[in-house]
Amino acid sequence: MSKIIINLYLLIFILITPLSTLASDKVYEISNELMCPVCQGQTVAESNSGLAISMREVVKKQISEGKSKKEILNYFVNIYGDTILATPPAKGFGIILYLFPVLLLVGSVLFWIRRFNK
């Protein structure tokens, strides 16, 4: 009888473990896209500040409520603004951050082509 109970507990543990790992992976994925408001240069996933820990708990709670990644990120953007995002949105001033490296590369290639042609 005790072998059956032990096997039953083992089966339940095996079935539940991947689900908890999947949820924690999703919490990490979303937390890694949010910058910590009190730590400089750290994401919420990396930071151990009290605010970052509570933000991870909010993410975990919203995931358990069935909210999507986009809904959770929008929740934090509504509270903190676009600066909370680790990757700036490609709109407004943020588009310059995406275009500047390309323009710099094209400009430097053109400069060196003209320089070698002389």
Task: Give dist(CA 103, CA 2) in Å, integer.
Answer: 71
Residues 4-44: pLDDT tens digits? 777 766 666 666 655 444 456 888 898 888 998 888 888 88
* Domain topology for 2-87: Helicase, Ruva Protein; domain 3 (1.10.8)
Residue 39 is predicted with a pLDDT of 85
Residues 47-80: pLDDT tens digits? 888 888 899 999 999 998 989 989 999 999 999 9
Above 90 in pLDDT, residue 87? no
| Tokens representing residue 76 in the block | 């934090």
pTM passes above 0.85 = no
Residue 21 is predicted with a pLDDT of 47
**Pair 34, 73: CB distance under 8 Å:** yes
Task: Give dist(CA 27, CA 49) in Å, integer.
Answer: 16
Task: Give dist(CA 52, CA 58) in Å, integer.
Answer: 10
For 18-44, the DSSP string reads HHHHHHHHHHHHHHTTBB-SSSTT-BT
The CA–CA distances, whole Å, from 58 to 52, 61, 62, 115 equal 10, 5, 6, 56
**Pair 1, 44: CB distance under 8 Å:** no
